[in-house]
Chains A and B, each alone.
Chain A
Amino acid sequence: MRGGGMTPATQERLVAIASPLAALLAWQALADGGVLDTRYLPSPWRILLAGEQLARSGDLWAHTRASLYRLAVGFALGAVPGILIGMMMGLNRFLRAALDPLIAATYPIPKIAVLPLLMLVFGIGDGSKIAVVAVSVLLLSAINTMTGVLGIDRVYFDVAKNFRSPPWKLFTRVILPAALPTVFAGLRISLGVALVVLVGAEFVASRAGIGYLIWSSWETLAVEDMFVGIIVITMLGVVTTQVLKECERFFLPWRH
């Protein structure tokens, strides 16, 4: 098939845009035609209207802000100590031997399972949600950072030694940049897990947040609002992942 002077890349891009649009149109048509039960699957247009109403009332922003705040603070409180602990574990075999069993024992715990415990400690407010996100992120970033440090090619240490790097410069100029790609890989995984844990926590124990919006819409059978919540939390995931990618581009210019 000739594409009327379009490059193959342009053709593919057009198809990639057209196919989800076609799916949306088909969904709308099936909902309007009565084929779909709109009590469970409302039409895209009705979801859009519901979203507009939620946005106008200010509820949507309030929920988004609550989730974003918990995600950001929990992520930072988990990632920073997680990376530090992982670095130290990677660099010091005694610390590694001491902490490895602790991490091995706590890592398999589904973090949402300790939410009630965290609520006892941090209360039913933001604190417990932030804590459950932080714990999930901390373990994942510690493990990935340690893996990154342990995986550094020996030749870089040889070069540093032959050129007599002082310990601090060995860390900032060799160990840190060499481990950073794996650290970022860990952060990307952590972000995905953090979103899952956050929504779960907001389902059961919250008065605000996108998870709460989805759950309370279910309880009141406001199916359109539920879809709005799902879309917003997805967008939150996409945007935060993109922010992380930009950070990576900034800190790892040599990878691009």
Chain B
Amino acid sequence: MTAKIRIDALTKRFGEGDRGHLALQEFSLDVAEGEFVCLLGPSGCGKTTVLRIMAGLEQASSGAVVTSPPPPGRPANSMVFQEHGLFPWMTALENAAYGLEMRGVPRREREARALEFLARIGLVKFRSHYPHQLSGGMRQRVSLARAFVNDPDILLMDEPFAALDAQTKLVLQQELLALWEAERKTVVFVTHGIDEALSLGDRIVVMTGAPGRIKQVVPVPFERPRDPASLRADAEFGRLSLEIWHLIEREVQAA
């Protein structure tokens, strides 16, 4: 197995001295090419910090993230942000085409590519809508589109479905899996939902409370392609869910 991403002893401290806060301590992880890894942990455990360092939005205090270089012409990574990450002044189409616009792709081509993707997620009719005119589920679909259309080597997802209601969340998980099956990008997905991590991931990296370290890595045995809805009826799903809960229970209580 070739490591696409090698995270080596990543430590992140915010602030200085006594007022400082150690968010992440000696976090090490290898992610394989095409693998879907979920980072799971209580609030404030530093899982988003790992992602932000990978996305280039934060500097590590020590340690490093090394990724094998992307194929020529493609960006290394694109991030799907939590809710409110879309630009309110851009239409759904402009938001979806944003990455290509920043890369200097001519308007016709980038809009064609964005439109093609909006078609795959059923949003063509809403291409001229602004985010505030869309439902929460549609907005996060556009957020997915913005990252996927940019065609990155690695997808980073920061609790993209956390603010959605349970049913919409399930639908978006299904859609994300379908999109991922088609392209098999390397994904690092941050969540605090055990069900979500079990439904989506190949492996679940369970983290401790602050400072964030790896508590245990849980391989997810379910066959692909998966359906997150019917997985929930699987006895193994329930067993794993409980097992992971026991892993993080004390961390959550302490958080």
Contact = CB atoms under 8 A, between A and B. Distances in A.
B85 interface: yes
B56 A169 contact: no
A161 B57 contact: yes
B122 interface: no
B180 interface: no
Interface string B76-108: 011101101101111000000011011100000
Given A155-B81, A158-B81, A254-B132, A163 B89 contact: no
A219 interface: no
B149 to A, nearest CB: 11
B85 A155 contact: yes
Interface residues of B, number: 25
A48 interface: no
B251 to A, nearest CB: 27
Contact of B57 (A158, A253, A254): A158
Contacts of B52: 158
Contacts of B88: 254
B81 A252 contact: no
Nearest to B103: A164
Most buried by A among B56, B78, B89: B89
Report the interface size class on chain A.
20 to 34
Given A178-B89, A254-B132, A162 B84 contact: no
B150 A163 contact: yes
Given A174-B87, A254-B132, A161 B56 contact: yes
B56 A156 contact: no
Interface string A154-190: 0110111111111001000110011010000000000
Interface of A: 153, 155-156, 158-166, 169, 173-174, 177-178, 180, 252-254
6 contacts: A155-B81, A163-B78, A173-B90, A173-B98, A173-B101, A254-B90
